[in-house]
A and B are shown apart, each in its own frame.
Chain A
Amino acid sequence: MRRSLLSRLGLLICAIVLLMWSLGPVYWALVTSLSAPTDLVSASPHFFPPHVTFEHYRQLLGATSSFQGSAVQSVWPQFSRALVNSLLTSLLATIVTVALAAVGAYAFVRLKFPGRNVIFVLVVASLAIPAYTVMIPLYRLMVSLKLIDTYFGVTMIYVSAFLPLALWLMRSVYQSLPLSLEEAAWMDGAGRTYTLFKIVLPLAAPGLIASAILTFLSAWGQFMVPLIFSPTLATKPLTVLIPEFVSRNYVDYGLMNAAGILTIIPPIIVVLFLNRYLVQGLMAGSGK
């Protein structure tokens, strides 16, 4: 009895350590974003903001704000543009990727056509190609097509980057679905396409959600691609805008952490409400 109590205490301590490791930095960013600039440069760190202030958030979201008595230019115009850009490119990439993967993976699992295995192996193997191997030719291609700094260009690059994983995931989902349901539909005279859209896809909904989540989070966090393909605020996302707050006369950590906290709201919502699908996706995506 004593031993089990001891081992439960041990588990509890391990769980607390794990929680601190995972959530500590996020908590610290939150504390920083709510602290007054003067408290941020005090001698020792405060684990709770001594004077809670929304100054940094006002600077991001408000029309004007004041910093130590003087008016400070709000960054809302840039921030809102980047927010819209992040949302649009991520959502568009997610829709296109999931649609292509849902239909394509079905073909790879259930239909026999020439080149099936070769195409599949090549597409999945492209997961191991670093983005920079394709970046330079891609850059010249996009320049010649005048697609630099356009939603279409950035979205399509995201699709090509995240499609292999979504395809791999959807394929494992279809493989686990029983063939008998589809066969029953064919017996009733339904065609392949009808069967796919009316019977298979609804059954594959958890897999579709999982691939949508993985694609959205990957696109939302992308940095390398927009660093090159989104030079201006026409398509520049939050991930590229926020580090630029450094290049002012001083590094505004309060502002950067506040912007970071706002940026991680969508991923946090996903983890809080859709974690089941996310974990399933990660498990399936890694070859289970």
Chain B
Amino acid sequence: MTSEVVSSETASPVKADTPRTFNSDRWLGLAFVAPIVVVMGFLVFGPVLVTLWDSLHRVDPMRLGTPFIGLENYRNLMRDASVLHAWFNTMAYVIFAVVLETAGGLAAALLLNKITWGRRWLLAAVVLPWALPPVVNAIVWMWIYNPSYGLLNGILQSTGLISSYHVWFNDRTTALLLVALVHVWRMLPLTAVILLAALQSIPAELYQAARLDGAGPFRSFSKVTLPLISGGLAIALSQSTVFAFNLFDEAWILNGSSLDTRPVLVQVYMSAFQNLRFSYGMALSVLVMFASLLISLVYVLRVYRETRYD
């Protein structure tokens, strides 16, 4: 690249805010980010624009031509029963996942913050599920949920909680919960780690001060801990929401294309790659993208604020 040009110092103070600004900085900077721009442009932003454009057309490998049809795809999506079903399922996943991950992640983070010996190993054990391929997780849990020989039935029956073996995926609510549970198993570590980082940044003096003021453990939790981890909590919440929104692998492996548990992304896959209605699937994926962007606005705004001033 242009490294040789750069190392010959052409120190002309273009901007006065940093003591040493090289005139060739702009070219070196552009050269450094050029590969990123190319990769992201070709493989992400270009395709996103194509998707936006095509979603307004009828793109269908089975039919001739790609006429402009305006918002017809979107209008049809609003009336499509299986699409609405899929949105409902995704909403259920988001609610289950966010509630369970936040509650479980907070509990795990508080425990990890408090424990003194073996913390390193407990943390490793907690993080492990996040590191495993979702497909393998789903297979392991599918076997646990097995109606005839599964661990879940075995444990529940031997403890007397159920009298006979259940076919868990026969009931829609249970099926949604069980799929969400596999997702929670994998994503809870992320919430726990984010909240642990937030907890560790709270100065110990604050707790001493709270105790001196006569605050019990619950009061100091609600008046000291919660406000001070609210930033981390916001990030953890937006992350769990976005990831639950993008749930695909677990539902696909555990229950295939079944309408009972089909999330929006499986619906996109079915429309586009199974039924070969490309632009219809694209329109749905555009809606998912906007919903996903809207939720992670917390995140994006934060990045934006940070980059604006420097």
A121–B282 touching, CB < 8 Å: no
- The residue in A114, A121, A135, A141 that gathers the most chain B C-beta atoms within 10 A of its C-beta is A135
The residues of B that contact A44 with a CB separation of less than 8 Å are 154, 157-158
Q: Please give the distance in Å from A274's CB to the nearest CB on chain B.
A: 10
What mask results when residues 75 to 113 of chain B are scored 1 for a CB within 8 Å of chain A, else 0?
Answer: 000000000000000000000000000000001100100
Given A22-B126, A275-B127, CB of A113 within 8 Å of CB of B36: no
Interchain residue pairs A-B with the least CB separation, the first 6: A191-B7, A113-B29, A221-B133, A111-B29, A107-B32, A160-B43
Q: How far is the CB of A51 from chain B (nearest CB, A)?
A: 16
Partner of B7, one of A100, A138, A190, A263: A190
Chain A residues with CB below 8 A from B19, complex form: 183
- How far does the alpha carbon of A283 sit from the alpha carbon of B293 in the complex, in Å? 21
Q: A122-B45, A192-B7, A253-B146 are in contact. Are A136 and B272 (CB under 8 A)?
A: yes
Within 8 A of A (CB), among B268-310: 268-269, 272-273, 278, 281-282, 285-286, 288-289, 292-293, 295-296, 299-300, 302-304, 307-308
Known: A22-B129, A136-B282, A283-B197. 15 other contacts (CB 8 A): A11-B111, A21-B185, A40-B149, A114-B30, A121-B307, A123-B40, A137-B47, A157-B43, A159-B39, A192-B7, A260-B139, A263-B136, A264-B133, A272-B124, A279-B127
Given contacts A156-B39, A156-B43, contact A286 B239 (CB under 8 A): yes
Q: Contact between B122 and A19 (Cβ–Cβ < 8 Å)?
A: yes
A23 and B128 contact, CB distance less than 8 A:
yes
A32 contacts B143, C-beta separation under 8 Å: yes
- With a cutoff of 8 Å between Cβ atoms, the chain A residues found around residue B35 in the complex are 100, 103-104
The minimal Cβ–Cβ distance linking A105 to chain B, given in whole angstroms, is: 9
A-B pairs with beta carbons under 8 Å apart, 19 shown: A22-B189, A29-B136, A100-B39, A104-B35, A119-B37, A130-B285, A130-B288, A132-B285, A134-B48, A135-B268, A136-B272, A136-B282, A192-B28, A223-B248, A257-B140, A271-B127, A271-B128, A275-B124, A287-B302
Confirm or deny: A62 has a beta carbon within 8 angstroms of a beta carbon on chain B. no
How far, in whole Å, are A14 and B42 apart by their CA atoms in the complex? Answer: 49
A125 CB within 8 Å of chain B: yes
B198 to chain A, nearest CB (A): 8
Give Cα distance in the complex from A137 to B143, angstroms: 36
Q: Which residues of A line the B interface, CB within 8 A?
A: 11, 14-15, 18-19, 21-23, 25-26, 28-29, 32, 40-42, 44-45, 100, 103-104, 106-108, 111-114, 116-117, 119-138, 141, 156-157, 159-160, 163-164, 167-168, 183, 186, 189-194, 217, 220-224, 228, 238-240, 242-243, 253, 256-257, 260, 263-264, 267-268, 270-272, 275, 278-279, 282-283, 286-288
CB of B308, distance to nearest CB on chain A (Å)? 7
A-B pairs under 8 A by CB, number:
306
In the bound complex, residues from chain A placing their C-beta under 8 Å from that of B154 are 44-45
Q: Are B300 and A124 in contact (CB under 8 A)?
A: yes
Closest B residue to A164 by beta carbon equals B40
Which residue from chain B places its CB closest to the CB of A273 in the assembled complex? B124
Contact with A along B45-72 (1 / 0, CB 8 A): 1111011001000000000000000000
